[in-house]
Structure 1
Amino acid sequence: MKLYFSPGACSLSPHIVLHELGLPFEAVQVDLKSKRLKDGADFWKINPKGYVPTLQLDDGAILTEGPAIVQYLADQKPTAGLAPANGTFARYRLQEWLNFISTELHKQFSPLFNPASTDAVKQAQQERLAERFREIVAAMGAAPYLLGDQFTVADAYLYTVLTWAGIVGVDLAPYPALQAFMKRVEARPAVKATLAAERAAKKN
């Protein structure tokens, strides 16, 4: 398999999942501005959407969209427990979280990265995110992860999105539970390995 990624982008989520699962894969870095690979290849020809993450299977099939990719990966090694079994209510709960993170967090961060966004727009986005953060904290309660005691692909996605907070000036200090969640995830060996790999890629 090949994971097309860009350091710090939402492709961090499946990158973490691949390390958690211990599946063999090749990480292929994409320059999101030029839409080129390191060897100069045109990324548009691989994924016409032009963004990461993109997963290429050994048979050449292409899978896009982070929530779909991480579930596909988890199902390749179900014994790892990164996703509940298909057809169970717990699996639908996982999908509920993946959809929530995608629509209510991931896309809410986008205007904060846009230099054309006005201060009013950014303030509105900050308020929307604050509301969503409170909802996550309330839903998690005392549990270490979104689905309880088990780390899942939804946690990898939530962690990925929350890493952007400091970049765009979103303060997580009012949410100690989220800060604790971030530290808990960062302590995982697979996450440490992924972050190290992305830092190294960014330097090259």
Structure 2
Amino acid sequence: MILFYYPGACSIANHIALIEVGMPHKLISINHEKKTEDGRDFLAINPKGYIPALETDEGAVLTENAVILHYIAEKSGRLLPQGGISKWRALEALAFMNSEIHGSYAPFFRNFPEPEKVRAREKLAKAFSILSDQMGSKTFLISDELTIADCYLFWVLMVSGRSGVDLPENLKSGYERLRGLPSVSRALSEEGLLRGNS
């Protein structure tokens, strides 16, 4: 299985999940010219042109973060409760972060005018408040067990500083807990994101 990624991008959620479940995989990075590190045209692999993309052992290419995370959970039988409302809460949180938070980061990754950044900050502050309420005093977002929602949450919180929005205290603590997981440390190291690696 091959994960096409860009260091520090949202694809790190998939990278963390693959490590966490022990699924064998190869990493291939993509550059801004849409070329893979081994010189291939990434658009031939994923015509959408963005990461993440996961090439399965069967040769199919999956895209979209939430779908890849769900695929990893289904294939491994881990990181997603097998039944009950917790399964749906994890998927709900994943969809919420993908639609309401990820998209709201756009003004801070590109040169958007300040009024759009102000609107995005307001939306992000509200979204972080909702996630904070959902997490409460639990170890992870959905429960005391790590799920695919937490893999994505790590990236959401990792890049939150670009927006200038203060995180609620329990999300700050949750980020530090996630950062301390061996799977997260390994993903950061493999992507060259640990201090001293960049």
In structure 2, what is the equivalent of residue 177 of structure 1?
170
The TM-score, its normalising length taken from structure 1, stands at 0.91
Distance 1:142 1:152 in 2: 16
1:169 shift after superposition:
4.1
Structure 1 142/112 Cα, relative in aligned 2: closer, same or farther at 3 Å?
same
Counterpart of 1:30 in structure 2 is: 30
Residues 108, 76 of structure 1: CA spacing in aligned structure 2 closer, same or farther, 3 A cutoff?
A: same
1:191 aligns with 2:184: yes
What residue number does 1:82 align with?
79
CA distance in 2, matches of 1:93, 1:178: 17
Cα distance in structure 1, aligned partners of 2:169 and 2:189: 25
- Report the CA distance shift for 1:127/1:200 in structure 2 as closer, same or farther (over 3 A): closer
In the alignment, which residue of structure 2 is the partner of 1:154?
149
- Secondary structure in 1 aligned to 2:143? coil
Residue 100 of structure 1 pairs with residue 93 of structure 2? no
AA partner of residue 82 (structure 1): L
Q: CA separation of 1:137/1:153 partners in 2, compared to 1, >3 Å: closer, same or farther?
A: same
**What are structure 2's unaligned runs of at least 5 residues?**
none
List 4+ stretches of structure 1 deviating above 3 A. none
**CA deviation vs aligned residue, 1:84-127 (integer Å, no higher than 9, x gap):** 12x64322221111110001111111122111x11111011111
- Asked if residue 126 in structure 1 is aligned to residue 121 in structure 2, the reply is yes
Q: Is the 8 A contact 2:29 2:37 kept in 1?
A: yes
Could you say what secondary structure the match of 2:59 adopts?
A: coil
The equivalent of 2:67 in structure 1 is 68
Residue 19 of structure 2 is matched in structure 1 by 19
Structure 1 vs Structure 2: percent identity of aligned residues? 35
Question: Take 2:99 and 2:76, find their aligned partners in 1: how far apart are those partners?
Answer: 27
- Match of 1:199, SS state, is coil
Report the AA paired with residue 26 of structure 1: K
1 CA distance for matches of 2:106 and 2:15?
A: 21
Matched, 1:4 2:13: no
**Given the superposition, is the C-alpha separation of residues 88 and 169 from structure 1 closer, same or farther in structure 2, using an over 3 Å criterion?**
closer
The Cα offsets for residues 28-79 of structure 1, whole Å up to 9 and x where unpaired, read as 1111x2000112210000000000110001221111101010111111221x
Aligned length: 196
Please, what TM-score do these two structures have when normalized by structure 2?
A: 0.93
Q: CA RMSD in A?
A: 1.7
- Give deviations 1:141-182, integer Å, cap 9, x for gaps: 11121111011110110111211122x24243x511111010
Partners in 2 of 1:155 and 1:127 — Cα distance? 23
